[in-house]
Structure 1
Amino acid sequence: MNTSVKKVASWYNRQASEYRAGEDRPIGGYIRALSVYSGVTAATVGAARLTGRRAPARITPWDVVLLGTATHKLTRILAKDAVTSPLRAPFVQYKGASGESELAEEVREHGGTKHAVGELLTCPFCLAQWVATTFVAGWVFAPGLTRLATSTFAGVALSDFL
């Protein structure tokens, strides 16, 4: 290993140790999750450029409301719904019910990538960035279908509210 890599590794280990403050925080897992998110986002931007696709010329306030409502609903479904629990099961353990049609689950393993993914999949706030980015990419590559999907999730959210 060259000197620069050793220095970066040493700096990272020191920072991670200080950050954890005795707790088992999966800093490496978080870095891997961020790398996946960044890599997929960069690849999506690259694919859009290569295929000549462009972002919408303008995004209206109604688009933002639609995106936000659909993102909220889909993240709740992915992170808390009983029907989507098989997607989370490799990373979390069932603990019980947690309100209307939602489950309480805890991260299955502590430390590492599995821990970070478990936290991501059980946290609607954490998952929202990934879902919103996917919807925005959909507006670039398949705007009609994405508008249909976001309208569906927004409609379900409105139905839940009513």
Structure 2
Amino acid sequence: MTKDAGQYDDHSDVPLGGYATLASVFASGAGAFALLARRRGVRLPETVPPWDVVLLGTATYKASRLLTRDKVTSFVRAPFSRRTGEGEGNEVIDEPRGDGLRRAVGDLLCCPFCTSAWVAGTLVCSYTAAPRLTRLVCGGLGALTAADWLQYAWTWTQQAAES
């Protein structure tokens, strides 16, 4: 069987139009922020210290996990996904549903790697406009990440002691 020249993959359910819409929204948001920041005289930082990169990265990781996997944020994903399983701790596994833009948003909201680009973009814009506030928010998300790791370490320790 040969692949149709107009088909992206063998399943033909890839919502390329929806992805293009989401990419346009992302690019438009970044452009609007840049234009607004310029009009308001916001200056880009001369450098971004390595500690801030680590802080932004840790916050991006945690925020993307919260949006894509946390039980409590299921209400955000529910119109675009359905629950397919339970993950570790407070995490759940969702699968995108629907077609077109709905499916594309579902793909975005069910994928921590995909969502992290949006979170990082938001945090970088925030860091440019309000670095102290952004560091505080990122510090909170970083503390939550550390707390999660400690929770897992405690659970693993308990399980090892019981074996």
Calculate the TM-score normalised by the size of structure 2: 0.86
Match of 2:70 among 81, 100, 114: 81
Q: Which residue of 2 aligns with 1:123?
A: 111
Match of 2:48 among 32, 39, 59: 59
CA 106–22 in structure 1, closer or farther in 2 if over 3 Å, else same: closer
Deviation at 1:153, TM superposition (A): 0.2
Q: Which residue of 1 aligns with 2:135?
A: 147
Q: Which residue of 2 aligns with 1:7?
A: none
Tell me which moved more, 130-139 or 97-106: 97-106
Aligned length: 147
SS of structure 2 residue aligned to 1:19: coil
The separation in 2 between residues aligned to 1:24 and 1:96, in whole angstroms, is 22
Match of 2:23 among 34, 38, 56: 34
Question: One-letter code of the match for 1:160?
Answer: D
Structure 2 unaligned spans of 5+: 151-163
Deviation at 1:143, TM superposition (A): 1.6
Structure 1 unaligned spans of 5+: 1-13
CA contact (8 A) 1:55 1:139 kept: no
Deviation at 1:80, TM superposition (A): 0.2
Deviation at 1:22, TM superposition (A): 3.7
The separation in 2 between residues aligned to 1:124 and 1:60, in whole angstroms, is 25
CA contact (8 A) 2:68 2:111 kept: yes
Structure having the higher helix fraction is: 1
**Is residue 133 from structure 1 mapped to residue 124 from structure 2 by the alignment?**
no
Runs of 4+, deviation exceeding 2 Å: 20-23
Calculate the TM-score normalised by the size of structure 1: 0.86
SS of structure 1 residue aligned to 2:38: helix
**Is residue 48 from structure 1 mapped to residue 37 from structure 2 by the alignment?**
yes
Deviation at 1:23, TM superposition (A): 2.5
Question: One-letter code of the match for 1:23?
Answer: S
The separation in 1 between residues aligned to 2:57 and 2:143, in whole angstroms, is 12
Deviation at 1:97, TM superposition (A): 0.9
Q: Which residue of 2 aligns with 1:103?
A: 92
